[in-house]
Structure 1
Amino acid sequence: MISYAPFYQTLFKQNRTEYDLIFHHGISSNTLYRMKQGKPITTTTLDTLCFVLNCQVSDIIEYKPDEKE
């Protein structure tokens, strides 16, 4: 499972907000909604977020294995 927890930690560390991403960098509010819901985003969007936040992919997403019993 892909987690976007690092994205929110990166925003916090950089003292940035979703508002900033939407209104100053053109990131779609739908994209941020999808991320909050844990839904997939495109690699193009991932690339854009890395560019805007000047960070690595690992600062946006992380892989967490599903716990299977």
Structure 2
Amino acid sequence: MAEKGINQYQLIKDYHFSTGTLDALRKNKSVTVNTIVTLCLILDCTPNDILKVNRTV
């Protein structure tokens, strides 16, 4: 986000993200695929650029 000049306040004000969604992202909690798609569109990136999968099987 910093590389693209987008901050959390802009996500709330300009892109209508809820504070709950931002809290989930900060705490590595579950978010919807729609949230991931929206972030990718805003940041002009792919899911691989913003996601990390941790294997804890």
TM-score normalised over the length of structure 1: 0.71
Task: State the partner residue of 2:43.
Answer: 53
Task: State the partner residue of 2:4.
Answer: 14
After superposition, the C-alpha distances for 1:19-58 in whole angstroms (9 at most, x for unaligned) are: 1111011111110101111110010111111111111101
Matches within 5 A, 1:14-53: 14-53=4-43
More helix by share: 1
Partner secondary structure for residue 42 of structure 2: helix
Q: Distance in 1 between matches of 2:45 and 2:18?
A: 19
Q: Which runs of 4+ in 1 moved over 6 A?
A: none
Bigger RCO of structures 1 and 2 (CA < 8 A, at least 6 apart): 1
- Unaligned regions of 5+ residues in structure 2, if any? none
Larger radius of gyration: 1
Percent sequence identity is 28
Count of residue pairs brought into register by the alignment: 57
- Unaligned regions of 5+ residues in structure 1, if any? 1-10
Give the aligned CA root-mean-square deviation in angstroms.
1.5
More strand by share: 1
